[in-house]
Amino acid sequence: MNNFTEVDILLVEDSPSDAELTVRVLQKNHLTKKIKVVTDGEEALDFLFSRGLYKERSMNAVPRLVLLDLKLPVVNGLEVLKEIKSDERTKIIPVVVLTSSSEDMDIFKSYQLGVNSYIVKPVDFDIFNKAVLEVGMYWLFLNKSPFK
């Protein structure tokens, strides 16, 4: 997947199981196969801003959606969100927080930083499936994005 020059969804998720389940749902339902998974905040930012490992990547090929977990190693989700939303080049990318935290403070801060949606990961896998599916459907198909 590393070779994708263009991605539809950047999934920032440090739990491999959650990442696999999410990717699986999106692929199984034929929403997109162009999903980039990164496991920490720093890698996410490197990817988005074409730094470090990803310095070859074109900054123009921005993903159409970022699915962001909040509890991340190295750089946490809220910091990632802050960086994305404070840079002219990336602030137009829709960011959906997909996390297990339902703390009011996290929700409040995310919206303050300009998050586009905040989804608490449902524990029940069926509902989780549905939620991921709906988010994908909405942001990739239903929503009119400025990129295309």
Q: Which stretch binds other proteins (CB under 8 A): 3-11, 13-21, 36-44, 80-88?
A: 13-21
58 binds other proteins per the rule CB under 8 A: no
CA-closest candidate to residue 70, choices 48, 96, 93? 96
133 binds other proteins per the rule CB under 8 A: no
Minimum separation from the CB atom of position 71 to other proteins (A): 8
| Contact pick of 4, 21, 51, 82 for other proteins (by CB under 8 A) | 21
Measured CA to CA, the distance from residue 67 to residue 58 in angstroms comes to 20
Give whole-number Cα distances, 41 to 55, 81, 137, in Å: 16, 9, 25
Interface size with other proteins, residues (CB under 8 A): 17
| Contact pick of 126, 144, 146, 148 for other proteins (by CB under 8 A) | 126
134 binds other proteins per the rule CB under 8 A: no
Each as own residue / partner, the long-range contacts of residues 120-125 (CB below 8 Å, 24 or more positions apart, any chain) are 121/18, 125/21
Minimum separation from the CB atom of position 43 to other proteins (A): 19
Q: Which stretches of the chain are DSSP H helices?
A: 16-28, 41-48, 77-86, 104-112, 125-137
CA-closest candidate to residue 47, choices 108, 6, 106? 6
Minimum separation from the CB atom of position 41 to other proteins (A): 17
- Contact positions vs other proteins (CB under 8 A): 15, 17-18, 21, 24, 71, 100-101, 103, 121-126, 128-129
